[in-house]
Structure 1
């Protein structure tokens, strides 16, 4: 019998293969969450699988696989992130946590369930972008840094109550 961690890895890999068979590419990047949002838009309406769509059968397994992929992608994108799994939790598959550096905790499977239940308002791309580590800033000596020493002038701020 496989452990939950093994199931997560296997289901994330299965999802990549399944999407590939449909001509969609998942590459474990946070940007690939757009493919997941497109998939939900195509195969479901809020809280309902579309008849004949990919979510019409094996809904729980597919949602788990999507959640596994989301979690695995976040872990690969954020150094120090990792699964925290509770073997004693009877709903461990749904409550699987990803612990982020700095102490934040997220629940990828629950987010995927929200995406299915509520539709685009709980999109996965925006979720991934919110978790994305900030881009490293260029050093002062890099070529992309502006070298102008002219002061930046800004218009004087008007009080909030003046409309003209």
Structure 2
């Protein structure tokens, strides 16, 4: 088990929030979705709330969630903010469509990443199987050519060549 130390800053309530400390216990092989859910639980967020979670390292640089598992000794900052918009959402339908489009793209990208994580082990197995099949086909072709060469070889040559050409 890995213990991740996080400092939670809730910018959705105030501009200068207090820092809440929390620890997250998780498996080193945890999936992205589970890690995100654990962070949301530590921040006491509900999935239906439209909040933005920004993960920062100790130097306050934005990082992806997977970086937490690579360096679990570091302390991370989790900033929770509201979705901010410059104008009233009811007045600008184009802006609503754009935000919805970006939101859908991010969800789509997240699902594609999850699918890729599932398919990587299968890809190695498929690649190994393909390589074994290729080697097997090439081996049978070399054996065929070796037999053909032995058949065409003139009778006076065999004493001079004690081994086959393969």
TM-score, normalization by structure 2: 0.25
Q: Which has the higher strand share?
A: 2
Bigger Cα Rg = 2
